[in-house]
Amino acid sequence: MKTKLIMIEGLPSSGKSTIAQITDEILNENETVHKIFYEGNLDHPADYDGVSFLNFQEFNELICKYEKYSDLIKMNSIRKDENFLIPYANIKNKLGTQFPNELLNDIVKYDIYELPLDTHIDLILDRWMNFADNAMQGKSTYIFECCFIQNPITVSMLRDNSRKEITINYIKRLAKIIEPLNPILLYVDTISVEQSFRKVFVERPDSWLEGFIYYYTKRGFGKANKKDGIEGTIEVLKSRKALELEILDILDMKKQIIDNSLYDYKKTKKEISNIIKNSLYLKEMK
């Protein structure tokens, strides 16, 4: 059976984007019909980025508060049963200053990644089910960067400090949904979490580093374990990695740890080619 989903996971700064690019190159070279979605893609088919979820009452309260912009809100909202999805990041990109900051801030309060965990999980599972159904009917193989393990851990562990059984069960449910896609999971690893993170925080802007440290030390797991600053962030990253490797061991799917410590492009490309060659019909049937 053809693999229709290749997932790239690993810690921030491990080189996931590079591995995704290499995988993209391999499929291009072999003329495999595919689509790639990097972290932060606002049009991701299996995830939500920059999208809020409001129930009927919350939506109507928003309309009443911003009556002047009611048509704008309605035209850019997606009804889901008795609820509403508002892709605020896409709207802001499209409308710019016509989308007032006060309205934007009120919508952001309902971001799917800030909802109660049970509600969040239900929405994400539903999104993945729709994706899996559509992917089974199409010809494309999909490459996803870090939305299968990273995003669930971000919400359940880092944000809420949930019991690890909750996180593991969440990801196992996702794995069950994508089972028909015969997925491959590539986990990008490096020898030193600290070395990799210190490398990336030198390269990223201060605003990114401040936001990252805040999320890792002032919320959920980091706050409960009294972690602080860069050193505390590194400790949380190590705990996250331990949980990810435990999950990786549990998952019943094709999977491989990619050692990216040396950032050796040629070696890594050859390794990935060997991993996927038996799982993909590299030449699509004409």
Query: Has residue 283 got a pLDDT over 60?
Result: no
Asked whether residue 279 carries a pLDDT value surpassing 80, the answer given is no
φ, ψ for residue 187 (rounded to 5)? -100, 120
Do 152 and 108 touch, CB atoms closer than 8 A?
Answer: no
Check if the beta carbon of residue 145 is closer than 8 Å to that of residue 16.
yes
Q: Phi and psi of 116, rounded to 5°?
A: -50, 145
CA angle 170, 117, 124 (to 5 degrees): 55
Tokens of 226: 């009294």
Phi, psi (rounded to 5 degrees) for 280: -125, 140
Residue 54's nearest CA partner among 33, 35, 82 is: 82
For the record, the structure tokens of 146 come out as 């870090």
For residues 22-50, give the mean pLDDT: 96
Report the Cα 99 to chain-centroid distance in Å.
26
Q: Which two tokens stand for residue 253?
A: 């799917």
Give the pLDDT score at 13.
Answer: 86
With bands split at pLDDT 50, 70 and 90, how would you rate the model's confidence at 281? low
Q: What angle (nearest 5°) sits at the alpha carbon of residue 158, between those of residues 154 and 159?
A: 90
Q: Which two tokens stand for residue 21?
A: 């690019």
The answer, yes or no, to whether residue 280 has pLDDT greater than 80, is no
* Fold for the domain defined by 5-47+116-276: Rossmann fold (3.40.50)
Outline which parts of the chain fall under CATH 3.40.50.300: 5-47+116-276
pLDDT in tens, 59-106: 999 999 999 999 999 999 999 999 999 999 999 999 999 999 999 999
Sequence-separated (6 or more) residues with CB below 8 Å from residue 53? 80, 83, 84, 85, 86, 110, 112, 115, 119, 123
At a CB cut-off of 8 Å and minimum separation 6, what does 259 contact?
Answer: 189, 190, 191
Q: What's the pLDDT tens digit per position in 148-195?
A: 999 999 999 999 999 999 999 999 999 999 999 999 999 999 989 998
Distance CA 157, CA 173 (A): 16
Spatial separation of the C-alpha atoms in residues 125 and 65, rounded to whole Å: 32
Quote the pLDDT of residue 195. 87
